[in-house]
Amino acid sequence: SSTWRNVAQGPPVRITEAFKADSFDKKINLGVGAYRDDQGKPYVLPSVRKAEDKVIASRMNKEYAGITGVPEFTKAAAVLAYGKDSSALDRLAITQSISGTGALRIGGAFLARWFPGAKTIYVPQPSWANHAAVFKDSGLTVNKYNYYSKDTLGLNLEMMLGDINAAYPGSIFLFHACAHNPTGVDPTEEQWKKIEAAVKAKGHYAFFDMAYQGFASGDVDKDAFAVRYFVSQGHDICLAQSFAKNMGLYGERVGAFSVVCANQSEKARVDSQIKILVRPMYSNPPIHGARIAAEILNTPELYEQWLGEVKEMADRIITMRALLKENLEKLGSQHDWSHITNQIGMFAYTGLTPEQMDQLAKEHSVYATKDGRISVAGITSENVGRLAEAIFKVKG
């Protein structure tokens, strides 16, 4: 008998199988977590093309990066996240990572090994599905805090603050810095201030996941508000950054994990322990994508161009939200669809039930996740009309 006879069949990870199998030529895929242009095509940013051409033309060698990656990249990534005048920059331990997921994983492992309190991390309910898996596999216990209200289709601040207050003091809280996935619901700046105060009062530790900086509002500084505010209030946060969405570098796997330390000596110690964690996982990270990102972040002209392109992507998404709502209203839908335009970032949480999502797929060839989340990046000026009709037919 075979060695692997005990291996159980796991559930499928992707939702794209049914989409692929559908032969209807006007089928719509709203399941993907990647930006598409208005023709529904994958998009390589012109600033990325230019930076990549420069990287290739410079004929650099392919030697290994250090354990913590390409320094020109990590330095610039820190400035982008924390701000160029941030007090955190000189006391920041930072490492390049395998995109945002890898940053979360290093962070989980670092906390599991070194966090002085209970090794429990609270993630929002709901959250990106991978959060719980990443943190559990890193050795942390995963709990949930209330975040979203199904009644208002918005933030449930009261319940969220209640859960922050009720958690064992000194727990770890994971926050989506902006463009919350899957709900598209972000706290306002005033709400962040209340959240910060509650976190501080209970001595909790804040871990930020910033996978969409610039992608939410179109402004990289505005989207970094929560991260910078917590730092300004004295929190030694840690942060996972991804350049998958805001630079469209998905498959290049460009990210960073950083820990704000109290001082230089703490930074040196934390840095040494991050290296000890990374070395046996993958020795050192890939260099090509990090060189592209570094080229953009460190070349003023390219940086300006990139800021414009991030804003264009964010604006297209904001426009598609408005068009979807408008089309639903034109069809005569009596529901209040303002959550579609109030939400922000790549995803809209429609409030459709799993049954309605099933019906969208089976009867209208519109594919997304069962939780009612649709990727607004998959909506185009051409398919938005048909999408609105399909939603109107299943929901009214």
Question: Considering only residues 65, 76, 174, 211, which one is a binding residue for ligand PLP as defined by CB under 6 A?
Answer: 211
DSSP-derived secondary structure letter, 376: G
CB of 262 to ligand PLP, least distance (A): 27
**CA angle (360, 366, 367) in 5-degree steps:** 100
Specify the DSSP element, H or E, that contains 71: helix 71-82
CA–CA dist 361, 77 (Å, integer): 40
Which range touches ligand PLP (CB under 6 A), out of 36-44, 97-105, 149-157, 319-327?
A: 97-105
Looking at the chain, list the stretches that DSSP marks H as alpha helix, in order from N- to C-terminal side. 16-21, 46-57, 71-82, 99-114, 129-138, 157-166, 189-201, 220-223, 225-232, 264-282, 288-298, 300-330, 338-342, 354-364, 384-395
Catalytic-labelled residue, pool 209, 306, 325, 337: 209
Considering the complex, state which of residue 76 and residue 249 has its C-beta at the smaller distance from ligand PLP: 249
| Contact indicator for 306, 45 with CB cutoff of 8 Å | yes
293 binds ligand PLP (CB under 6 A): no
DSSP-derived secondary structure letter, 42: B
378 binds ligand PLP (CB under 6 A): no
Considering the complex, state which of residue 120 and residue 246 has its C-beta at the smaller distance from ligand PLP: 246
Residue with tokens 């207050």: 165
Considering the complex, state which of residue 101 and residue 380 has its C-beta at the smaller distance from ligand PLP: 101
In sequence order, the 6+-apart residues with CB closer than 8 A to the CB of 133 are: none
Q: Is 245 a catalytic residue?
A: yes
349 binds ligand PLP (CB under 6 A): no
Question: Considering only residues 209, 223, 252, 271, which one is a binding residue for ligand PLP as defined by CB under 6 A?
Answer: 209
176 binds ligand PLP (CB under 6 A): yes
Question: Considering only residues 69, 255, 372, 378, which one is a binding residue for ligand PLP as defined by CB under 6 A?
Answer: 255
Q: Is 128 a catalytic residue?
A: yes
Q: Is the dihedral of CA 281, 283, 289, 293 positive or negative?
A: positive
Question: Considering only residues 47, 99, 217, 383, which one is a binding residue for ligand PLP as defined by CB under 6 A?
Answer: 99
Question: Considering only residues 31, 33, 184, 214, which one is a binding residue for ligand PLP as defined by CB under 6 A?
Answer: 33
Considering the complex, state which of residue 242 and residue 305 has its C-beta at the smaller distance from ligand PLP: 242
Q: Is 209 a catalytic residue?
A: yes
Report the DSSP pairing between strands 238-242 and 148-149: unpaired
Question: Considering only residues 101, 120, 171, 343, which one is a binding residue for ligand PLP as defined by CB under 6 A?
Answer: 101
Residue 292 burial class via C-beta count within 10 angstroms: exposed 0-12, middle 13-18, buried 19 and up: buried
Instruction: Give the three-class secondary structure for 327.
Output: helix
100 binds ligand PLP (CB under 6 A): yes
181 binds ligand PLP (CB under 6 A): yes
Active-site residue numbers? 128, 209, 245
Residues found near ligand PLP in the complex (CB under 6 A): 33, 99-101, 128, 176, 181, 209, 211, 242, 244, 255
